[in-house]
Structure 1
Amino acid sequence: MRRALTRIALAGSVALSALTVSTPWMLFPGIGHAAKAPAALEQQRQSYLKAREALDKGQLEEYRKLRTQLKDYPLNIYLDFHAELDDIMALSGSKALKALDKFEHSPLHASARHRYLVQAGADKRWQDFLAISPELPRATELQCYFYRAKLGQGETQVAWDGARQLWLYGRSRPKECDPLFNAWSKAGHRTQELIWSRMMLAFDAGQSGLLQYLGRKVTQHQSQAKLLQAVYKDPNRLRHMNQFDGDAPIYSDIVSAGLKRLARKDLRQAVRLYVKYEKAGRFSDFQGRQLNRYLVRRALIVEDEGLRDHIDTMLPLLKADDLTERRLRWAIAEQNDADIRRFLPLLSDEGRNDARWRYWHLRVNGRDDAMLEALSKERNFYGFWAAAELGVAPNLAHVPTQSQAQMQARLADDEALARVSELLALDKLVDARIEWSQMLARHNKQMRAQYGVYAQEQGWDALAVEASIQARLWNDMEMRFPYAADPFFTRAGKDFKVNVNEIRAISRRESAFYPYATSSVGARGLMQLMPATAKQTAKEFKLAFNGSRSLYDPAINVPLGSAYYTKLLEQFDNNRVLAVAAYNAGPHRVKRWLKQSDGKLDVMSFIETIPFSETRSYVQAVFTYRQIYELRQQQALPQFSETELGRRY
């Protein structure tokens, strides 16, 4: 056995698997410090941790001694993974396939398989590669290896078809693809038509370097290739229509791509030129419609007053709900009820039936008791508004998920579930969640629901929430909206004199109560704080903050998030609509939106016209989640305060 010093992080774990939440039993009260394990099991846990440490240090004799003590311990598979992976890498494909079987139905299998394929591909061990991956892998790098392996095995047509598909892309491909592309090109399959197609893709993707590179490969249509590159540099050249009057479809391609690029610099000019080229019959029906849709969408995004007539003329022809909804929000921002009435019928039947647009139908067409009553029975932002309008209690419509004894009995023998339990007991929340997610994915909706019931019974709140989502248990309010990390939120509510259900609702929306949640922009933890915001808040409120990694600790994250929300409330005169929007999008953006609306809007109109769809949904979700928690507590608090309702935005 080779020294197993290489630590393979599970997908998504990265460096986080070494982290522990300082008080995990507050989030998972069924494990850890809150529940004493039998002495034998506790001894196994300690032996497991020592075995992992021995492996990391290369103390193989000590590791073997500890491994023999563990026998049927659920996490043995993790030890075997770290101990055997280097040896598996050196096996032939058929033997590696058998060796990997022991990791099947665990996240370790995909990690080991990927590692093997990368190594086999780099070593050009094509037979071994195909033994492990007889079907096309997902990763682009591995796809290139796959088709190179097919070529090496003599399946040239499969290889060439794959090369063509991979090559026709608007951006550069991994270097592992170069040998495949070179062989495909030398075989005469990289035609001038394909080069032109990729030039168009590179143009649309804004990849000037790739566009120039491909331009040097053109032997036919050289003048058009130069024209395309010239339009990329200066799309205003399109005003010289005589330069683009060839009959070949290639000229239409140049004009279409160029108008899209011009629209980002001078939208009105792009629309004027589009109309001219369209009248000249320069586009196919499909091309013209797609280009028209693109231009109308851009005009709606910026609400270009000079293009209003063009937009309003085109909307009935385009019949696209996403465009119509943007036009409706423009009308709402102007408080133009006539335009709202005008454009609502352009929505599809599905669009008109959405709670949002039924609300606006009621608002501009007058009270309709039947429609209002139907809306009030729905558990959403607009349904709760309708309930308030009728003076009735909002409809929680809670339907608890029933435990099914036969299905629950199957869980007792589930090795993956046993691993989840032990990982939680060892404070390895990241790895536990990865195991949980993959375990749920392997089962049907009914079994996912039973896993959710089990997690709920164990107090695994974040995992129960995930199960409720995967099982689509939309009516189980207890599973979907648990009192996770309750001591932290209760204390923060008291310390910062803020409604505890508001900060609970923010956390539920931000992280679904998963303490290691990390956004694409770097926000961390239960309340998804950016490190810079956390640092500043800690300084202002004299709170604990020990760097960005400490934000994964609820004991640090929740007070900081609550303090920051309190600060936003103070900044916006205790207006929760503005504070919640600022929590998501930043106070500087909220101030800009208020300046743009200039006091013309009521609260519902302001929320509806928030420019960012994410923030718009976020505000509505947080207000809805807050009311759900209040309804669970038999509270009947209003959706908005009198001040929030009375203010002009």
Structure 2
Amino acid sequence: MLVGALVAAASCTALAQTTDLPEPDSAALYRPVQDAATAPAVLPSSPNSNADDDVFLQLRDAVRQNDTNKAAALAARLPNYAIPGYVDYYRLKPRLKDASAPEVMAYLARYQGMAIADRMRNDWLLELGRQGDWANFDREFPLFVLKDDTQVKCYALQSRLAKGENVAADARALLLSPPGYGDGCGGLIAQLAQANQFSQNDLLTQLRLAGEQHATGPAKRIAVLLGASDTRAAQAVDVPALAMARGIGDSRAEHEIYLVAVGRMARTSLPLAKVALDKNTPRLTPDEVALGWASIALAASMKLAPEAYDDWRRTTGAALSNDQAMWKTRIALRHGDWKMVRATIEAMPPILRAENTWTYWLARSLASTADGREAARPLFSRIAEQNSFYGQLAMEELGQLISIPPAAMTPSAAELAQVSANPDLRRALKFFGMRLRFEGTREWNWALRGMSERQLLASAEFARQNNILDRMVNTSERTRTEFDYSQRFPAPHNDLVHPTAQSLNLDKAWVYGLIRQESRFIVDAQSGVGASGLMQVMPATGKFVAAKIGLTDFVHGMLNDLRTNITLGANYMNMVLANADGSQVLATAAYNAGPGRSRTWRATLDQPMEGAIFIESIPFTETRGYVRNVMSNATNYAALFEKKPQSLKARIGTITPRGAAAGLP
């Protein structure tokens, strides 16, 4: 009965004029997939395995709650557990602060080469850094494989600094995100200042970054290093109106605190921020005024305010942060100022400038002039082989369409046997079977290090056989010379997706492109804010759509039913597409950020805009990346389904002001 009702509802719904679509909770913009289940683990089980798994889960929770005694008691109940490295890790982790070096080193030796040993080394390096035990730190740091912890990197620089090395250049390259500094990076900045390796300008740059990224603690600490009031610095970040009312002060540091307050105020009131800056311009140096306008221009850009372009033109001479440089470029793109685009990108730090995004737009700026077209080609070629949004656009600039490369040879039985025996992959399957996706993904990715292309393809096929499609996609995407697009762009549940999309006249390639981005095909994926299933439908959205299509007996638990989830998700796609006058770009943004926001961004247009420029200037970082990925995915799926080359440019098209194309009010 339910199945028939769903199919009938999907086929007959007519919601082309729907405008009262539900808005997601702001937290719903960030949808990490958490602990979704996959196929059962293939590790051999014992009669006591389920009971032991329950104890292990309790042990994990006890450590998360920092309950040392309970953790020790639970660990003692698992003397022969299938993954002893984790039991011993959870036994040692809660008391790492007081553990002896021989005890930790014995653990590392026992589990050498395993992902959990690298995790323990990461934890221990943090503790050694806090203690200033540089002898042990220096011995262990070269053995740390992933080296993906910013605080550990800061402690490593502290260790070098303690030996008299000049590490200022490395510190400047590392210290870009104050909210993640913690004790390690905060201590590094203080020591650099004390050693005269960080100048006042370095500290002022850090203060600006802290204000820009709303990092109150780092702002206070840096203010003290500058000889300024930490209270005033905190007020500038958190209560800018109060900080501005107190006046500008006399010192360079006090001027910077005032400019931080101006930048923070601009996030809520551009007019008040501009009045405050204009009022005190006579007391500021030209460089300080330019910095003030850069803060205001950044806030105006993130609102897509019409004055943002003119604000950026007042920033000549300002040392821009990475965010400011990127937004100055985006606003220049929106205004067709290719000269500003080129100048701003060329002034970016080399690492930022080399990203695909800015490589593409720099090439476009060069190609905008007759004498720059040849200079643009090597830049387009540099990224054209990468199967990404900007790689695909670069291909089209070189006169090529997006097509599916020839498939690699299917992994042999011997190749599959080799990867299926990999102990890291087997541990990953164990964790996936226990709904511990974080641990499973860590073990899986650890296993992929150093694999050949053939081994990667075999591992992806092994993931497919165990119905872990997100790992299949992720693993297959790592190959560079051999490709299997059936792994990279799978189309599971076609018996449900195809008729649902067909009944709604939806582009199936777009539907699959969105599913791939939303859940990576994890059927019972759950986000931290309640989004559920393959299409990550929020409860309020599910209730709204169910009412619209006549699903009167809908309850929240039905979101986990595959057929219901696809039906509700596809119908919602149909609604937002109609609301966006058929633009997949606008509809994709609406699916992620809410129809109201998508309409607001469209309302900033007074003339048609190239789709790629509109996408690049979406104010929400998460939504910007989401739309890029969905549209790139959809282009690949269309090439797979239709078996002919595709154009991403044609798919994203041009974004018009509301009513411009269809004569709507």
Global fold match (TM > 0.5): yes
Q: Distance in 2 between matches of 1:116 and 1:129?
A: 9
Check if 1:349 corresponds to 2:374: no
Check if 1:139 corresponds to 2:158: no
Residues 1:340 and 1:608: Cα distance change in structure 2 (over 3 Å): same
Instruction: Report percent identity of matched pairs.
Output: 18
Match of 1:627 among 631, 638, 649: 638
| CA apart distance, 1:455 | 2.6
Q: Secondary structure at the match of 1:43?
A: coil
Q: Distance in 1 between matches of 2:661 and 2:634?
A: 19
* Greater displacement, 252-261 / 173-182: 173-182
| CA apart distance, 1:150 | 7.4
Check if 1:43 corresponds to 2:47: yes
Are 2:522 and 2:533, in contact at CA under 8 Å, matched by a contact in 1?
Answer: yes
| CA apart distance, 1:585 | 4.5
* Greater displacement, 124-133 / 445-454: 124-133
| Equivalent residue, structure 2, for 1:206 | 211
| CA apart distance, 1:183 | 6.7
2:278 is aligned with what amino acid? N
Are 1:293 and 1:318, in contact at CA under 8 Å, matched by a contact in 2?
Answer: yes
| Equivalent residue, structure 1, for 2:278 | 236
1:364-379 correspondence runs (5 A): 375-376=400-401, 378-379=402-403
| CA apart distance, 1:579 | 3.6
Match of 2:423 among 405, 415, 434: 415
* CA deviation map 1:195-228 (0-9, x unaligned): 233114423553695575455359xx97555555
Q: Secondary structure at the match of 2:45?
A: helix
| Equivalent residue, structure 2, for 1:449 | 457
| Equivalent residue, structure 2, for 1:261 | 295
1:349 is aligned with what amino acid? R
Residues 1:459 and 1:346: Cα distance change in structure 2 (over 3 Å): same
Residues 1:299 and 1:623: Cα distance change in structure 2 (over 3 Å): closer
Match of 1:78 among 86, 92, 102: 86
| CA apart distance, 1:574 | 6.5
1:318-333 correspondence runs (5 A): none
| Equivalent residue, structure 1, for 2:3 | none
| Equivalent residue, structure 2, for 1:189 | 195
Q: Distance in 2 between matches of 1:64 and 1:525?
A: 37
* CA deviation map 1:325-370 (0-9, x unaligned): 879999xxxxxxxx9787984971245666647868xxxxxxxxxx
Q: Which has the higher contact order (CA 8 A, sep 6+)?
A: 2
* CA deviation map 1:36-76 (0-9, x unaligned): x89x73536335425536857959899767644x6xx4x34
1:375 is aligned with what amino acid? Q
Q: Distance in 2 between matches of 1:313 and 1:42?
A: 68
Q: Distance in 1 between matches of 2:139 and 2:345?
A: 50
Q: Secondary structure at the match of 2:47?
A: helix
2:329 is aligned with what amino acid? R
| CA apart distance, 1:145 | 5.3
Match of 2:329 among 266, 284, 297: 297
Q: Distance in 1 between matches of 2:32 and 2:395?
A: 46
Q: Distance in 2 between matches of 1:430 and 1:552?
A: 21
Are 1:421 and 1:432, in contact at CA under 8 Å, matched by a contact in 2?
Answer: yes
Are 2:424 and 2:443, in contact at CA under 8 Å, matched by a contact in 1?
Answer: yes
Q: Secondary structure at the match of 1:483?
A: coil
* Greater displacement, 440-449 / 42-51: 42-51
Are 1:607 and 1:619, in contact at CA under 8 Å, matched by a contact in 2?
Answer: no
Check if 1:470 corresponds to 2:495: no
| Equivalent residue, structure 2, for 1:481 | 489
Q: Secondary structure at the match of 1:470?
A: coil
Residues 1:157 and 1:596: Cα distance change in structure 2 (over 3 Å): closer
Residues 1:157 and 1:625: Cα distance change in structure 2 (over 3 Å): same
| Equivalent residue, structure 2, for 1:108 | 116
Residues 1:615 and 1:461: Cα distance change in structure 2 (over 3 Å): closer
* CA deviation map 1:133-152 (0-9, x unaligned): 4679653444565567779x
* CA deviation map 1:209-250 (0-9, x unaligned): 5575455359xx97555555566654436865xx77xxxxxx
Residues 1:535 and 1:199: Cα distance change in structure 2 (over 3 Å): farther
1:452 is aligned with what amino acid? A
1:197 is aligned with what amino acid? D
Are 1:510 and 1:528, in contact at CA under 8 Å, matched by a contact in 2?
Answer: yes
1:43 is aligned with what amino acid? P
| CA apart distance, 1:469 | 0.8
Q: Distance in 2 between matches of 1:529 and 1:551?
A: 7
Q: Distance in 1 between matches of 2:254 and 2:597?
A: 42
1:93 is aligned with what amino acid? A
Residues 1:168 and 1:107: Cα distance change in structure 2 (over 3 Å): closer
Q: Distance in 2 between matches of 1:539 and 1:451?
A: 43
| Equivalent residue, structure 1, for 2:628 | 617
Match of 2:164 among 157, 169, 181: 157
| CA apart distance, 1:176 | 5.6
Q: Distance in 2 between matches of 1:14 and 1:619?
A: 16
RMSD over aligned CA atoms reads 5.6
Q: Distance in 2 between matches of 1:325 and 1:432?
A: 36
Residues 1:166 and 1:524: Cα distance change in structure 2 (over 3 Å): farther
Residues 1:175 and 1:261: Cα distance change in structure 2 (over 3 Å): same
Aligned residue pairs, count: 539
Scaled by the length of structure 1, the TM-score of the pair is 0.63
Q: Secondary structure at the match of 2:195?
A: coil
Q: Distance in 2 between matches of 1:14 and 1:609?
A: 25
Q: Distance in 2 between matches of 1:14 and 1:107?
A: 22
Residues 1:496 and 1:104: Cα distance change in structure 2 (over 3 Å): farther
2:642 is aligned with what amino acid? L
Are 2:534 and 2:562, in contact at CA under 8 Å, matched by a contact in 1?
Answer: yes
Q: Distance in 1 between matches of 2:528 and 2:572?
A: 21
| Equivalent residue, structure 2, for 1:565 | 573
* CA deviation map 1:149-185 (0-9, x unaligned): 779xxx5425987997699778485346666766776
* Greater displacement, 160-169 / 433-442: 160-169
| CA apart distance, 1:411 | 2.5
| CA apart distance, 1:401 | 3.8
Scaled by the length of structure 2, the TM-score of the pair is 0.62
| Equivalent residue, structure 2, for 1:216 | 227
* Greater displacement, 554-563 / 467-476: 554-563
Q: Distance in 2 between matches of 1:134 and 1:340?
A: 47
Are 1:423 and 1:432, in contact at CA under 8 Å, matched by a contact in 2?
Answer: yes
Q: Distance in 1 between matches of 2:411 and 2:580?
A: 46
Are 1:400 and 1:477, in contact at CA under 8 Å, matched by a contact in 2?
Answer: no
* CA deviation map 1:356-412 (0-9, x unaligned): 47868xxxxxxxxxx8xx635x32xxxxxxxxxxxxxxxx44413432566445335
Q: Distance in 2 between matches of 1:258 and 1:450?
A: 55
1:446-595 correspondence runs (5 A): 446-472=454-480, 475-485=483-493, 489=497, 501-514=509-522, 525-530=533-538, 532-534=540-542, 536-537=544-545, 542=551, 546=556, 557-571=565-579, 579-592=587-600
Structure 1 residues without counterparts, runs of 5 or longer: 1-12, 245-250, 276-282, 331-338, 361-370, 380-395
Larger radius of gyration: 1
* CA deviation map 1:252-311 (0-9, x unaligned): 753552442354566576577667xxxxxxx6xx979x99988963652553xxxx7xx4
Are 1:468 and 1:480, in contact at CA under 8 Å, matched by a contact in 2?
Answer: yes
* CA deviation map 1:512-563 (0-9, x unaligned): 324576889986653244555345445655475648xx97875664444233
